[in-house]
């Protein structure tokens, strides 16, 4: 398969690339110039990416930002930024990407645990993650040519908890999270919210 991975250099993206390389042809993307350059927050750059990379069998996104702040401090700009980057960036990857994906291909997006288990500070992140899950169920219904659409909802990743100096005990290693994306790309399911676990 020819697979576009947006967020290829990230905590989740790196083990995902490692799990897929050798088996599939990978097109790696992020905001860095050393890759196929794309900014999810910039609609023109998504359209330009699809124009450059040509036909694909799968599009995976492990990228996009949303602001984490106490509710009273979340500004209009914080909500707008979060929706433009992580939410609409991934929605637009699907909307603009259908014509680039071959029959029976797939999209795999990323939401996150804060959709289902909010915490203090997650107002914008929980909004965006929940919206992505609703969008995925609806987009899967209308996707043409047997194209599948799924979203992976990662729990806290162990490496991220360590980087944030938080207790890593409740985290899942990124390598386990990456397996859930591989299952979405190589499997048959569509319209699903996939929650990675140690057994994936």
Residues making contact with ligand NAP (CB under 6 A): 6-13, 30-32, 38-41, 62-65, 85-86, 89, 110, 112-113, 154, 156-157, 160
* Cα gap 160→146, rounded to integer Å: 35
Q: Which is nearer to ligand NAP, 4 or 142 (CB)?
A: 4
Q: How far is the CB of 24 from ligand NAP (least distance, A)?
A: 18
**Coil, strand, or helix at residue 169?**
helix
With a CB cutoff of 8 Å and minimum separation 6, the contacts of 108 are 58, 59, 60, 61, 150, 151, 152, 181, 184, 185
Q: Which is nearer to ligand NAP, 45 or 102 (CB)?
A: 45
Q: How far is the CB of 11 from ligand NAP (least distance, A)?
A: 4
* Cα gap 164→5, rounded to integer Å: 25
Q: How far is the CB of 3 from ligand NAP (least distance, A)?
A: 15
Q: Which is nearer to ligand NAP, 85 or 136 (CB)?
A: 85
Q: Which is nearer to ligand NAP, 102 or 160 (CB)?
A: 160
Residue 177's alpha-carbon distances to 166, 183, 184, in angstroms, are: 18, 10, 12
Q: How far is the CB of 167 from ligand NAP (least distance, A)?
A: 13
**Could you give phi then psi for residue 60, rounded to 5 degrees?**
-125, 135
Q: How far is the CB of 144 from ligand NAP (least distance, A)?
A: 25
Strand partners, 21: 24
The number of C-alpha atoms within 13 Å of 49 and in the hemisphere containing its C-beta is 30
Q: Which is nearer to ligand NAP, 139 or 177 (CB)?
A: 177
With a CB cutoff of 8 Å and minimum separation 6, the contacts of 112 are 125, 129, 153, 154
| Residue with nearest beta carbon to ligand NAP | 10
Q: How far is the CB of 153 from ligand NAP (least distance, A)?
A: 7
Q: Which is nearer to ligand NAP, 29 or 140 (CB)?
A: 29
């Amino acid at each position: 398969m020819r697979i576009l991975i947006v967020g290829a250099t990230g905590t989740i993206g790196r083990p995902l690339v490692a799990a897929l390389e050798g088996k599939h042809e990978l097109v790696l993307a992020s905001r860095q110039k050393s890759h196929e350059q794309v900014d999810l927050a910039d609609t023109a750059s998504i359209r330009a990416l699809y124009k450059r990379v040509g036909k694909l069998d799968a599009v995976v996104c492990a990228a996009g930002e949303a602001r984490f702040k106490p509710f009273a401090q979340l500004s209009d700009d914080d909500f707008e930024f979060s929706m433009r980057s992580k939410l609409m960036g991934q929605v637009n990857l699907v909307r603009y990407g259908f014509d680039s994906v071959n029959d029976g291909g797939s999209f795999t997006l990323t939401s996150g645990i804060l959709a289902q288990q909010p915490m203090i500070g997650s107002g914008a992140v929980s909004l965006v993650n929940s919206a992505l899950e609703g969008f995925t169920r609806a987009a899967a219904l209308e996707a043409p040519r047997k194209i599948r659409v799924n979203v992976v909802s990662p729990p806290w990743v162990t490496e991220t908890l360590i980087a944030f100096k938080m207790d890593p005990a409740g985290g899942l290693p990124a390598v386990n999270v990456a397996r859930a994306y591989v299952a979405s790309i190589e499997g048959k399911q569509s319209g699903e919210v996939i929650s990675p676990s140690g057994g994936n």
